[in-house]
Amino acid sequence: MKDILKKLPKIELHCHLDGSVRPETMYELLLEEGEDMEDISLEQFEKMAKVVDECNSLVEYLERFSYPLKVMQRKENIERITYELLEDLSKQNVKYVEIRFAPFLFMEKGLSFDESVESVLKGMERAKGDFNILSNAILVCMRHESVEKSIELVEKGEKFLGKGVVAVDLAGAEEGFPPENHKEAFDLAYKKGYNITVHAGETGRYENITKSIELLHAERIGHGIAAIKSPEVMELIKNKNIFLEMCPISNLQTKAVESLDEYPIKEFLDNDILVTVNTDNTTVSNTSLDKEYELLIDGLGFSIEDIIKLIKNSIEATFLPKEEKAHLKRIIENELKNI
Least spacing, CB of residue 171 vs Zn ion, in Å: 6
- Count other C-beta atoms under 10 Å from residue 80's C-beta: 20
Which is closer to Zn ion, CB of 171 or CB of 273? 171
Burial of 22-45, coded b for 16+ CB within 10 Å and e otherwise, reads bbebbbebbeeeeeeeeeeeeeeb
Cβ pair 155, 147 in contact under 8 A: no
Number of residues that make up the chain = 339
Pick the closest to residue 10 from 246, 293, 258 (CA basis).
Answer: 293
Least spacing, CB of residue 202 vs Zn ion, in Å: 7
202 an active-site residue? Answer: yes
Least spacing, CB of residue 223 vs Zn ion, in Å: 7
End-to-end Cα, the chain, rounded Å: 12
Calpha distance 25→49 (Å, rounded): 12
Which is closer to Zn ion, CB of 74 or CB of 100? 100
Query: Which stretches of the chain bind Zn ion, using CB under 5 A?
Result: 280
Question: Which residue in 202, 245, 292, 294 is the catalytic one?
Answer: 202
| 172 annotated among ligand-binding-site residues | yes
Which is closer to Zn ion, CB of 16 or CB of 22? 16
Burial of 104-133, coded b for 16+ CB within 10 Å and e otherwise, reads bbbeeeebebeebbbbbbbbbebbeeeeeb
Which is closer to Zn ion, CB of 118 or CB of 280? 280
| 199 annotated among ligand-binding-site residues | yes
- Count other C-beta atoms under 10 Å from residue 333's C-beta: 12
Which residues of the chain form beta strands (DSSP E)? 10-16, 94-101, 134-142, 165-171, 195-200, 220-223, 243-246, 274-277
Which is closer to Zn ion, CB of 280 or CB of 292? 280
- Count other C-beta atoms under 10 Å from residue 170's C-beta: 28
Least spacing, CB of residue 304 vs Zn ion, in Å: 26
Least spacing, CB of residue 203 vs Zn ion, in Å: 11
| 193 annotated among ligand-binding-site residues | no
| 114 annotated among ligand-binding-site residues | no
| 222 annotated among ligand-binding-site residues | no
Q: Mapping DSSP to helix (H, G, I), strand (E, B) and coil, where does residue 247 land?
A: coil
Would you list which residues are annotated within the binding site for substrate?
16, 18, 172
Catalytic residues: 202
